[in-house]
Amino acid sequence: SDPNLVERARAAKAALGDRVFILGHHYQRDEVIEFADVTGDSFKLARDAAARPEAEYIVFCGVHFMAESADILTTDAQQVVLPDLAAGCSMADMATAEQVAECWDVLTDAGIADVTVPVSYMNSSADIKAFTGKHGGTICTSSNAKRALEWAFEEGAARSASIEAAGGRRVGEKVLFLPDQHLGRNTAVREMGLSLDDCVLYNPHKPNGGLTAEQLRDAKMILWRGHCSVHGRFSLDSVNDVRERIPGVTVLVHPECKHEVVAAADMVGSTEYIIKALDAAEPGSKWAIGTELNLVRRLAKAHPDKEIVFLDRAVCFCSTMNRIDLPHLVWALESLVEGRVPNVITVDPETEKYAKAALDRMLALP
Ligand code: CIZ
Ligand code: SF4
């Protein structure tokens, strides 16, 4: 990268000292990661930011929903800066507050809202987290999705039992999983022993989600029709192809991948899990990794004694993550040095209150 920009970033960071704390998501470019005080997945970063109350400015090198979570978990005095406001997340954008409110009306009409517990993936807007908190649900990450689902089904069963005790008709408990259908389906089927038929797909672009009231009543998992445009691109062909190219390869994928990809892989886990697995891997071992390309390339560089390849032949960056580049970071830092706070991400107090309730529920999971 441009040595002049590297120099300017260094100078601005030094001028700000402890007043600024720079967070770098694992999927960020190397030129940005170089300036991060900590790296991590979205949840770890939000917690790291909360552990630095003395930092006035949190510069979040990641995407919009992550900056929102950092704002929710940090003090009111701290300001969260997103170096490019166009750094959104296509998955988070697939569930809007209006669509989710409409879905809840559909579940209410089908007579199942009372026994449905929402579980929302960290990769969702603050509005969706607030919806989840309002309806007594929880947030989950790709590391604790199983525990979140176990809790939610127990919670739903308790709600169902109390309706029955009050003389109502018994309806089986359900989870509404937002917004990533793949994480929801993979966790339900791989880790909870549910079948694919226990899951239905709610399509927010169709009347009643494209489902009949009967389908909704019979379902155990109601999956929102959202997905990650990056992880969703890996296919069964990518897995078969890499096994042919590299005999003995271990295929390790993120649970945001499609069910058939996860079913064909050898190992499945979050970004933090992937990083740890490669740290622990034997020298000479061969790996094909199904997650974002910046991270895979960085891991390949960090482990020259292992053969680490990207799962697909085509390149597959997260285009919105990549919007945060060195020029944007320099601009944000130099603005702060000049006393202007650019691109502040704030969540309104009402939304924050309910979103925090859902996040706290996750933190209290057994
Ligand atoms: O796919 C993503 O954006 C991930 C894994 C985010 C995160 O860190 O939770
Ligand atoms: Fe969103 Fe996928 Fe990009 Fe993550 S990798 S920020 S889920 S689009």
pLDDT digit string, tens, across residues 129-139: 999 999 999 99
**∠ CA 197-199-205, rounded to 5°:** 125
Number of Cα atoms under 13 Å in the Cβ half of residue 68 = 26
Share of the chain above pLDDT 70, in %: 100
Indicate the residue type of 134.
K
Contact predicate 290/308, CB 8 Å: no
324 lines ligand 2 (CB under 6 A): no
Phi and psi at residue 59, to the nearest 5°: -95, 110
**Backbone φ/ψ region at 208: left (φ over 0), alpha (ψ -120 to 50), beta:** left
322 lines ligand 2 (CB under 6 A): no
SS3 262: helix
- Residue 230 is predicted with a pLDDT of 96
CA distance 318 to 61: 13
Q: In angstroms, what CA-CA distances link 57 with 24, 115, 309? A: 14, 42, 37
The ligand 1 atom at the shortest distance from the C-alpha of residue 121 is 9
**H/E stretch holding 248:** none
CA of 228 to the centre of ligand 1 (A): 9
pLDDT over threshold 80, residue 1: no
CA of 156 to the centre of ligand 2 (A): 29
SS3 329: helix
The ligand 1 atom at the shortest distance from the C-alpha of residue 89 is 3
CA of 272 to the centre of ligand 1 (A): 10
- Residue 14 is predicted with a pLDDT of 98
Ligand sitting nearest the alpha carbon of 321: 2
Which residue, judged by its Cα, is nearest atom 6 of ligand 2?
A: 89
Q: What is the mean pLDDT of residues 344-357?
A: 98
- Residue 363 is predicted with a pLDDT of 92
**DSSP structural state of residue 339:** T
Question: Of 183, 185, 187, which is closest to residue 200 (Cα–Cα)?
Answer: 185
Mean pLDDT score of the chain: 97
Q: What is the mean pLDDT of residues 12-37?
A: 98
The ligand 2 atom at the shortest distance from the C-alpha of residue 231 is 2
249 lines ligand 2 (CB under 6 A): no
Question: Of 135, 147, 172, which is closest to residue 157 (Cα–Cα)?
Answer: 172
Contact predicate 22/36, CB 8 Å: yes
- Residue 145 is predicted with a pLDDT of 97
**Sequence-distant (≥ 6) Cβ neighbours of residue 95 within 8 angstroms:** 124, 125, 128, 178, 179, 204, 224, 226
CA distance 202 to 57: 39
- Residue 47 is predicted with a pLDDT of 86
91 lines ligand 2 (CB under 6 A): yes
pLDDT over threshold 90, residue 89: yes
Position 99 confidence tier, pLDDT thresholds 50, 70, 90: very high
**H/E stretch holding 208:** none
Question: Of 126, 145, 133, which is closest to residue 360 (Cα–Cα)?
Answer: 133
- Residue 71 is predicted with a pLDDT of 96
The pLDDT tens digits of the residues spanning 291-340 come to 999 999 999 999 999 999 999 999 889 999 999 999 999 999 999 999 99
Contact predicate 181/227, CB 8 Å: yes
Q: Per the structure block, which two tokens stand in for 49?
A: 């930011």
Ligand sitting nearest the alpha carbon of 180: 2
230 lines ligand 2 (CB under 6 A): yes
Position 2 confidence tier, pLDDT thresholds 50, 70, 90: confident
Ligand sitting nearest the alpha carbon of 230: 2
Please give the torsion angle defined by the CA atoms of residues 33, 328, 226 and 98, in that order, rounded to the nearest 10 degrees.
140
- Residue 43 is predicted with a pLDDT of 86
- Residue 285 is predicted with a pLDDT of 98
The ligand 2 atom at the shortest distance from the C-alpha of residue 228 is 2
Q: What is the mean pLDDT of residues 179-185?
A: 98
Position 64 confidence tier, pLDDT thresholds 50, 70, 90: very high
Phi and psi at residue 251, to the nearest 5°: -95, 120
CA of 236 to the centre of ligand 1 (A): 22
pLDDT over threshold 90, residue 243: yes
- Residue 332 is predicted with a pLDDT of 98
Q: Per the structure block, which two tokens stand in for 160?
A: 């169902």
Q: What is the mean pLDDT of residues 212-239?
A: 97
- Residue 315 is predicted with a pLDDT of 86
The pLDDT tens digits of the residues spanning 245-295 come to 999 999 999 999 999 999 999 999 999 999 999 999 999 999 999 999 999
**Helix boundaries (H) for the chain:** 3-16, 30-33, 42-50, 64-73, 97-109, 126-134, 145-165, 181-186, 213-218, 236-245, 259-264, 271-280, 293-302, 326-337, 349-363
The ligand 2 atom at the shortest distance from the C-alpha of residue 27 is 5
Q: What is the mean pLDDT of residues 222-234?
A: 97
Strand partners, 24: 39, 61
Q: Per the structure block, which two tokens stand in for 183?
A: 């994480």
The pLDDT tens digits of the residues spanning 133-181 come to 999 999 999 999 999 999 999 999 999 999 999 998 888 999 999 999 9
180 lines ligand 2 (CB under 6 A): no
CA of 167 to the centre of ligand 2 (A): 45
CA distance 176 to 99: 13
CA of 91 to the centre of ligand 2 (A): 6
**DSSP structural state of residue 157:** H
pTM of the model: 0.97
- Beta-strand runs (E) in 84-237: 116-121, 138-140, 174-178, 199-202, 221-224
- Residue 171 is predicted with a pLDDT of 87
